[in-house]
Amino acid sequence: MLDAQIKSRYEIRAKIVKAMAHPSRMFMMDELAKGERCVCELTELVGDDVSTVSKHLAVLKNAGIVKSDKRGTQVFYALKVPCILNFFSCVESVMKQNAKDHATLS
């Protein structure tokens, strides 16, 4: 990792992945995969304070994972990158494997 340029590249990558690495944000991405949602809808679903949800969405937007569209007083968020879904299926496969390994251990 000596090369600063390479290091920087991994830092940028990590920033994107880090943006996904939160239960509420994972949930919201899943929800957005079904279609756009306004902050109020997501807030209702997640069950946290609106300000918290808004900040989570800002993290996702800042990472380039979602985009927002203000219509009237509402702001609608939508997934910007479709491959996110494939990614989740990979995470699922890790979970399944873990479950299998765990079962084997007992």
Partner DNA sequence: TCCTTTGTTGGCTATTTTGCCAAATAACCA
Partner DNA sequence: TGGTTATTTGGCAAAATAGCCAACAAAGGA
Minimum distance from residue 76 beta carbon to a second copy (Å): 18
Q: CB 56: neighbour CB atoms within 10 A?
A: 22
Q: Is 81 in the site for DNA (CB under 7 A)?
A: no
Start-end of H helices in 2-49? 4-20, 23-33, 39-46
Report CA-CA distances (Å) from 67 to 19, 30, 71, 95: 14, 15, 13, 29
Q: Which of residues 39-68 bind DNA (CB under 7 A)?
A: 39-40, 43, 48-52, 54-59, 68
Minimum distance from residue 22 beta carbon to a second copy (Å): 6
Minimum distance from residue 73 beta carbon to a second copy (Å): 24
Q: Is 22 in the site for DNA (CB under 7 A)?
A: yes
Q: For 37, which DSSP code?
A: E
Q: Which helix (H) or strand (E) holds 38?
A: strand 37-38
Tell me whether residue 73 or residue 86 sits nearer to DNA (CB atom).
73
Rg of the chain taking only CA atoms, in angstroms: 17
The contact set with a second copy (CB under 8 A) reads 1-2, 7, 10-14, 16-18, 20-27, 45-47, 63-65, 80-81, 83-84, 86-95, 97-98, 101
